[in-house]
Structure 1
Amino acid sequence: MSIPGESYFATDRNKKILSNMVVKVRGGLDALRDSDNAKHKFLLEFIGTTLFHLESYPESFDERCIMNIASLGDRFMDEVRKFELGEIDAEYLFAYCYRFLIEYQLSSPHQISSELLSILSRVSDFEYTVGSSQVRYAGHQMLINVVQHYLYHPNLVSLKDLPEVIKRSEAEREGAEQAILDRETRVSALAEKLETYETAFNFVGLYSGFKSLKITKVSEKNWNFLFLLVLGFLLLVPIVVKFFNVLEAPAKSGSDIISFFALAGLELLLLYFFRVALQNFRSIKAQLLQIDLRMTLCQFVQSYAEYSKGAPDGSKGLLERFEQVVFSGIVNDESAIPSTFDGLDKLAELVGKIRK
Structure 2
Amino acid sequence: MDSSTNSYFATEFNQQALSNMMHKVHGGLDAIRDSDNDKYKFLLEFIGITLFYIQNNPSSFDERCIMNIASIGDRFMDQVKSFDLGEDSAEQLFAYCYRFVIEYQISTPNSISSELLAVLSRVSDFEYGAYAGQVRYAGHQMLINVVQHYLYHPSLASLKDLPEVIQRSETERENAEKSILDRETRVNALAEKLETYETAFNFVGLYSGFKSLKITKVSERRWNFFFLLVLGALLLFPVVVKFYSLINAPAKLEPDLIGLTALAGLELLLLYFFRVALQNFRSIKAQLLQIDLRMTLCQFVQSYAEYSKGAPEGSKGLLERFEQVVFSGIVNDESAIPSTFDGLDKLAELVGKIRK
Q: TM-score, normalised by structure 2?
A: 0.71
Aligned 8 A contact 1:67 1:146 in 2: yes
Give, in angstroms, the shift of residue 138 of structure 1: 1.4
- Counterpart for residue 313 of structure 1: none
- Counterpart for residue 209 of structure 2: 213
- Counterpart for residue 74 of structure 2: 74
In structure 2, how many angstroms separate the alpha carbons of the residues matched to 1:72 and 1:233?
122
2:301 to 298, 301, 324: 298
Identical columns (%): 24
Aligned 8 A contact 2:25 2:85 in 1: no
In structure 2, how many angstroms separate the alpha carbons of the residues matched to 1:186 and 1:90?
73
- Counterpart for residue 3 of structure 1: 2
- Counterpart for residue 116 of structure 2: 119
Cα root mean square deviation, aligned: 4.4
- Counterpart for residue 144 of structure 1: 144
Give, in angstroms, the shift of residue 99 of structure 1: 0.7
User: Structure 1 residue 52 and structure 2 residue 49: aligned?
Assistant: no
Give, in angstroms, the shift of residue 224 of structure 1: 1.9
Aligned 8 A contact 2:3 2:66 in 1: yes
In structure 1, how many angstroms separate the alpha carbons of the residues matched to 2:19 and 2:158?
45
In structure 2, how many angstroms separate the alpha carbons of the residues matched to 1:18 and 1:320?
90
Give, in angstroms, the shift of residue 88 of structure 1: 4.4
Aligned 8 A contact 2:105 2:111 in 1: yes
In structure 2, how many angstroms separate the alpha carbons of the residues matched to 1:281 and 1:157?
91
Q: Which deviations, in whole Å up to 9, do the C-alpha atoms of 1:319-351 show, x marking residues without a partner? A: 899868877749899373237763624224414
- Counterpart for residue 338 of structure 1: 335
- Counterpart for residue 37 of structure 2: none
In structure 2, how many angstroms separate the alpha carbons of the residues matched to 1:119 and 1:333?
106
2:289 to 253, 261, 285: 285
- The one-letter amino acid of 1:203's match is T
Q: Which deviations, in whole Å up to 9, do the C-alpha atoms of 1:162-215 show, x marking residues without a partner? A: 7xx74x568657756764775576467546635643552343134223312221
Tell me the matched-pair count: 334
In structure 1, how many angstroms separate the alpha carbons of the residues matched to 2:29 and 2:170?
70
- The one-letter amino acid of 1:80's match is V
Aligned 8 A contact 1:276 1:339 in 2: no
Q: Which deviations, in whole Å up to 9, do the C-alpha atoms of 1:46-67 show, x marking residues without a partner? A: 243244157x31xx54554343
Compare 148-157 and 88-97 and name the one that shifted more: 148-157
Aligned 8 A contact 1:65 1:103 in 2: yes
- Where does structure 1 lack aligned partners over 5 or more consecutive residues? 311-315
Paired residues for 1:45-194 under 5 Å: 45-53=48-56, 56-57=58-59, 61-85=61-85, 88-108=88-108, 110-111=109-110, 114=113, 117-125=114-122, 127=126, 129=128, 131-151=131-151, 166=163, 179=175, 186=182, 189-190=185-186, 193-194=189-190
- The one-letter amino acid of 1:69's match is I
- Counterpart for residue 20 of structure 2: 24
- The one-letter amino acid of 1:3's match is D
Q: TM-score, normalised by structure 1?
A: 0.71
1:228 to 220, 224, 231: 224
